[in-house]
Chains A and B, each alone.
Chain A
Amino acid sequence: MILMKKGAEADLYLDDFAQVLYPLGKGKVVVKHRISKRYRVPQLDSQLRESRTALEARLFADAKAAGVPTPAVYEIDRVGMKIVMEFIEGKQVKIILDRLTPKERRGLCQLIGRQIARLHKAGMVHGDLTTSNMILTREGKVFFVDFGLGEYNPSLEARGVDLHLLKRALQSIHFRITDEAYRAVLAGYRREFGKGASEVIERAEEIERRGRYIPKEERTWH
């Protein structure tokens, strides 16, 4: 590291990119290119790709600031619809969740719940909470690696949908352990979110009951 400037409050150093960020020499990056879909009308296609690219990059940064591990973003190309970001070395939670011991699984799910709560408290929702979007690193951090459907939305409804989505993902992918995993997620969520967590959890339950061919007059009771 070469000292470039000694300032009043901070020092500035010049160093090699990979040396600082990847001292182990694994300076791999992920390029996320949003491809055009021929089935969509062109205006909608470019509108979706552009807005999702820009928004995702902002969410990565803000989530990290809120204490949720996310990959570092190195470049945002709004014309080429590309994000260049850090490659996170680790294991997909989707692959390992069923294989963990119940105790390990509880710990991991509680951590996931806490991170979701941090996101929510910072005014964000993830929009696609599934275990295939989560990477567990060797240090035990859980990285949320895909914010493509996330948004800035502090509403109870958006938060409820977020939790409901995770439950749905657990039901479709981890159907053998859905209940214990979701319970642990909620426990972590409650602890981190604090006051108001119950309201979000209740909303998630209400959302689960909707959209199921239930006539309006029957929706309030049962």
Chain B
Amino acid sequence: MLFGINVLCLGIEGTAHTFGVGIVDSRGKILSNVSKVYVPPKGGIHPRDAAQFHATNAKPALDEALRQAKVKLNDIDLIAFSAGPGLGPCLRTAATAARALSAWLRVPILGVNHCIAHVEIGRLTEGAEDPVTLYVSGGNTQVIAFDAGRYRVFGETLDIPVGNCLDVFAREVGLPHPGGPQVERLARGGKNYIPLPYVVKGMDLSFSGLMTEAVRKRRAGADLRDLCFSLQETAFAALVEVTERAVAHTEKKEVMLTGGVAANRRLREMLKLMAKEHKAKFYVPPFKLCQDNGSMIGWTGILAYKHGVRYKLKDTVVRQRWRTDEVDVPWRRGQ
């Protein structure tokens, strides 16, 4: 692979319920982005079932991504996969697919950190240079900002992710899957704010007490619309407060929102207001790229490869607990 020549990277995402394949070129063009999402028949996500879903959907997703991008498998120059953090069985399925493709095509393979990929795809598509990023999904809740050579976590949940808080609440009160959008829809009809536990600890957050109390209030007869409204207001105010603290601390002038919960209009509105008060620009990537996707893995793979990151086969073991601040990011060196 030579510099100056356009390079095609195939990114494979498989950290949780989404199996995604994206094809991205080194000029930053997203040629295709295919996602297959596992929906559990009932209850929460079971890692083994999700991994089985990924294995079944790997081939169709790959074929579809190649077709959409109008390229052949042989045109691919580089394979990137989500090496972590995530659910072990899912990660291993994605890694196996990536290793097989890399060996078959005889092209380099790279492991990519899922959380950092979320930030990088937003920097690519939105043109954000150095944002404080609030990354909120069913599996993650982090405030990430670049500082002294690394992406550092300025705040995160101490227990459950905010998406999980909304989903479990929805399930417990009998709302259909997916819970988040249902809560948002009902919240629009809510008028009365019902006080709920608001937990910010330094820069970190906690949502388990909030979720339990909201469920309890519902069982005690609280109006569902008011409760959805109050749940969102409480959880999101805490998210925005922690993001605001990171903005104040780092004095950065950009705020970005990503992850599945970025679909929520109220959260967008609140963050936008906060950003405005700090005279910061506010970005949200297109929703397909806020959700887990293969393109973000592919793009981050290109960034890493261009800056000298190389993986041997033995480096491709998955890392379920791969911390955002453990990752070397040579493509932002000197910033």
A: residues with CB less than 8 A from B are 37-41, 43-44, 47-48, 127-130, 132, 149, 161, 164-165, 168-169, 171-172, 175, 207, 210-215, 218
| 8 A Cβ contacts from B52-105 to A | 85-88
- The answer to whether A214 and B320 have CB atoms under 8 Å apart is yes
Chain B min CB distance to A137 (Å):
23
- The answer to whether A213 and B85 have CB atoms under 8 Å apart is yes
- The answer to whether A213 and B234 have CB atoms under 8 Å apart is no
Chain B min CB distance to A59 (Å):
15
* Complex CA distance for A80 and B15, rounded to whole angstroms: 48
Note all chain A residues with C-beta closer than 8 A to B271.
Answer: 39
- The answer to whether B277 and A38 have CB atoms under 8 Å apart is yes
Note all chain A residues with C-beta closer than 8 A to B223.
Answer: none
- The answer to whether B201 and A165 have CB atoms under 8 Å apart is yes
* Complex CA distance for A133 and B157, rounded to whole angstroms: 22
Count how many chain B residues have C-beta atoms less than 8 Å from C-beta atoms of the other chain: 45
Note all chain B residues with C-beta closer than 8 A to A128.
Answer: 201-202
Note all chain B residues with C-beta closer than 8 A to A43.
Answer: 193, 195
Stretch at the interface among B17-25, B148-156, B214-222: B148-156
- The answer to whether B204 and A168 have CB atoms under 8 Å apart is yes
- The answer to whether A213 and B204 have CB atoms under 8 Å apart is no
- The answer to whether B321 and A212 have CB atoms under 8 Å apart is yes
B198 within 8 A of A: yes
Given contacts A39-B270, A165-B203, A165-B204, list 6 more A-B pairs with CB under 8 A: A44-B198, A44-B234, A129-B202, A161-B158, A211-B157, A215-B87
Note all chain B residues with C-beta closer than 8 A to A169.
Answer: 202-203
- The answer to whether A168 and B160 have CB atoms under 8 Å apart is no
- The answer to whether A171 and B201 have CB atoms under 8 Å apart is no
B39 within 8 A of A: no
* Complex CA distance for A47 and B197, rounded to whole angstroms: 12
Note all chain A residues with C-beta closer than 8 A to B160.
Answer: 211
* With A149-B200, A169-B202: A211-B270 Cβ-Cβ less than 8 Å: no
- The answer to whether A213 and B320 have CB atoms under 8 Å apart is yes
* With A40-B233, A172-B153, A172-B154: A213-B87 Cβ-Cβ less than 8 Å: yes
